[in-house]
Amino acid sequence: MRYLGLLIALCLWPLEAVAEDFFQLKGHGGPIKGIAVSPDGSRILTASFDNALGLWVNRQPQWLEGHDAAVNAVAFVDEARAVSAGDDFAVRQWDLATGQSSVLGHHLGKVLSLAVSPDRQYVVSASWDSRLGVWSLTGAAPRFIQVGANVNDVAFAQQGRVLFVASADGRIRVFDFDRGTLEQLFLSNGFGVNTLVLNEAAGWLAFGAVDGVTKIVSLDSAEVIKDITLERRPVLAMDMSRDGGMLAVGDGEGYILLLNRVDWSIASDIKATHRGPIWALAFAADGQNIHAGGLDDAMFSWPLSDPRDAPRMVAEDRDFLNGNDRASNGERQFQRKCSICHTLTGDSARRAGPTLKDLFGRPAGTVPDYTYSKTLQDAEIVWNGQTIDALFDLGPDVYIAGSKMPVQRIARAEDRADLIAYLRLYSDIEDQ
Ligand code: HEC
């Protein structure tokens, strides 16, 4: 799967592009619910449960304070301005040069999503007061559009003439933007529609729902083009890369599904966190990374080229490391990739694999309380820095073909070195 993703990525990306690595944006005091990338791609805005927005330049935050409750949605208007909204029912406009904001107005319920009009004159807010708010960015009076059900998401279409509106009653409706009138009941899903993405040039709309339904439908007929529903619910976040080449879908079970929109094949399926939802997704401007927010206080960004070999969200680290986020990379490698099958204590504790205590200098297949495969018992390997490195550089399937070890490689030499250094801490015998 990883190689398929890489292949697709190589076909889609400009050759001169420099792949960005995995990174995190750390500093918020609560989970992240919204993410936006600036038009020129140089800045990221994060919206958090801690009531603040983070404006990130070169991974350094500037905190934008003003909301009185969790911030759910954030969008850039242009390079100089942004808008945000959240559980305090307020829609705010930000001057990004000064960090100052003003309230455009209030809903009577929490606000879940924002859409900026193509001409950048308006922002539309989707609220659980069953209305859309239409806020002028040029000083005109605000107005509301009655939808008739809690509104989860909204998107502009037809050069800003219409709005596609996703609601908790399972409907996607089309409203005339200027008149505020209902034009069409576009489709009915039965369960609430949480998120939608439009690609007008390609003629489709993608939506994700509470019951896990994820579909791509024709913008003309609402006919299903592709049903990508998996047994994962609810679907909470979606984004499309700027070139329209990739669609990302995030769900309540912590997966991020990356679809190649040429044939809707799965480019990658990342289990981004052990526990908890993916609330926010945004592609980097160049489409090389996918940014995600969930229960973690940090925004995570995975390179599409190799998303599987990077860290996962905290739920996992916290579970395994008991809140110790100062763990070394080696410890994290071990916890994430080995600890489910191996202990570092004297006994193998009925795990799938033998204890890795005192591994260095030990001939393969010799822990007394463990039943090895014949392959490993017969292997003439002594475990040391080089052999462990080779095991995960080549993969157990290549290095000791026929062993019970699962197929697993650790692509980065530094990760292997850090892991080996960590394992060495649990060996009394000196390595040669
Ligand atoms: C899903 C389970 C699983 C995971 C994950 C796993 N291993 Fe193993 N490992 C095994 C099994 C099973 C064996 C025994 C294979 C056999 O008998 O053929 C083994 C054997 C080994 C051995 C040989 C031990 C000996 O005494 O000869 C080493 C070294 C090893 N694993 C290291 C690791 C490291 C390091 C990681 C993490 C990067 C890891 N393993 C991840 C299941 C696992």
| Ligand 1 atom closest to Cα of residue 379 | 27
CA of 312 to the centre of ligand 1 (A): 21
- How confident is the model over 330-351, as a mean pLDDT? 81
Going from the Cα of 4 to the center of ligand 1, the distance in angstroms, rounded, reads 27
User: For position 31, what pLDDT does the model report?
Assistant: 85
Nearest in space to 208 (alpha carbons), one of 173, 176, 244, 248? 248
Q: What is the DSSP letter of 345?
A: S
How far, in Å, CA of 42 to CA of 80, rounded? 12
Where are the domains positioned within the chain? 2-310, 327-424
How confident is the model over 257-286, as pLDDT tens digits? 999 988 888 888 888 887 789 999 999 999
pLDDT band per the 50, 70, 90 thresholds, residue 14: very low
- Please measure the distance between the N-terminal and C-terminal CA atoms of the chain and give it in whole angstroms: 37
Residues 6+ apart with CB under 8 A from 57: 42, 43
At the topology level of CATH, where does 2-310 sit? Methylamine Dehydrogenase; Chain H (2.130.10)
Lookup result for tokens 């692509």: 411
**According to the 3-state scheme, what is the secondary structure of 254-290?**
CEEEEEECCCCEEEEEEECCCCCCEEEEEECCCCCEE
- Report the C-alpha gap between 178 and 139 in whole angstroms: 16
Residue 410 corresponds to which amino acid? I
Three-state secondary structure string covering 281-299? EEECCCCCEEEEEECCCCE
Q: Which atom of ligand 1 is nearest to the CA of 372?
A: 17
* In the predicted structure, residue 4 carries a pLDDT above the cut 60: no
As a whole number of angstroms, the distance between CA 336 and CA 319 comes to 11
Q: What is the 3 state secondary structure string of 346-375? A: CCCCCCCCCCCCCCCCCECCCCCCCCCCHH
Cα distance between residue 385 and residue 166, in whole Å = 55
Mean pLDDT, rounded, of the chain? 88
| Residue 26 CA, ligand 1 centroid: distance in Å | 33
Q: Which atom of ligand 1 is nearest to the CA of 366?
A: 26
- pLDDT at residue 319 tops 50: no
Ligand 1 pocket by C-beta < 6 Å: which residues?
A: 337-338, 340-342, 352-354, 356, 359, 364-365, 367, 372-373, 375-376, 383, 388, 392, 403-406
Nearest residue (by CA) to ligand 1, atom 35, is: 338
Q: How confident is the model at residue 281, as a pLDDT?
A: 98
* The pLDDT value given to residue 28: 84
Q: What pLDDT score does 325 carry?
A: 53
Phi first, then psi: what are they for 61, rounded to 5°?
-90, 150
Contact 291, 301 (CB under 8 A): yes
Three-class secondary structure of residue 414 per DSSP: helix
- Compute the distance from residue 353 Cα to the ligand 1 centre, in Å: 5
- pLDDT level of residue 310 (50, 70, 90 thresholds): confident
Between 20 and 199, the higher pLDDT residue:
199
Residue found by looking up tokens 């859409």 in the block: 115
Point out the ligand 1 atom lying closest to the alpha carbon of residue 352: 12
Give tens-digit pLDDT for 213-258.
999 999 999 999 999 998 888 999 999 999 999 999 999 989 999 9
Q: How far is the CA of 354 from the centre of ligand 1 (A)?
A: 7
pTM exceeds cut of 0.85: no
Span of 10-19, 92-101, 195-204, 246-255 with lowest mean pLDDT: 10-19
pLDDT in tens, 74-111: 999 999 999 999 999 999 999 999 999 999 999 999 99
Side-chain-side CA neighbours of 388 within 13 Å: the count stands at 23
Determine the pLDDT at residue 29.
75
Residue corresponding to tokens 């095991």: 391
The confidence band for 194, taking pLDDT boundaries of 50, 70 and 90, is very high
Cα(346) to ligand 1 centroid in Å equals: 15
pLDDT at 318 over 70: no
**Which amino acid type is present at position 409?**
R
When pLDDT is averaged across residues 181-192 and rounded to a whole number, the result is: 95
The pLDDT value recorded for residue 128 is: 97
> Are 348 and 355 within 8 A, CB to CB?
yes
- Euclidean distance between CA atoms 346 and 365, whole angstroms: 15
Max CA distance (Å), the chain: 80
What are 106-120's pLDDT values in tens digits?
Answer: 999 999 999 999 999
Q: Distance, CA 254 to ligand 1 centroid (Å)?
A: 27
Q: Write the class of the CATH domain 327-424.
A: mainly alpha
Question: What does the pLDDT average to over 50-61?
Answer: 93
Residue nearest to atom 15 of ligand 1 (CA): 404
User: What are the Cα distances from residue 93, in Å, to 100, 104, 114, 371, 396?
Assistant: 9, 6, 12, 64, 55
Measured distance CA(342)–CA(410) in Å, rounded: 17
Task: With beta carbons less than 8 A apart as the criterion, state whether 5 and 268 touch.
Answer: yes
Would you say residue 406 has pLDDT above 80?
A: no
Q: Does the CA dihedral 358-363-369-371 come out positive or negative? A: positive
Dig out the tokens for 287 from the structure.
């489409």
The pLDDT of residue 27 is: 85
For tokens 């996918």, name the residue: 290
Asked if 303 contacts 310 with a C-beta cutoff of 8 angstroms, the reply is yes
How far does the centroid of ligand 1 lie from the alpha carbon of residue 276, in Å?
Answer: 29
**Phi, psi dihedral angles at 385 (to 5 degrees):** -50, -45
Closest CA to 82 of 41, 31, 116, 132: 116
Q: Is the pLDDT of residue 322 over 80?
A: no
d(CA 300, CA 189): 31
Residue whose CA is at the smallest distance from ligand 1 atom 3: 341
Handedness of CA 54, 280, 48, 130 (dihedral sign): positive
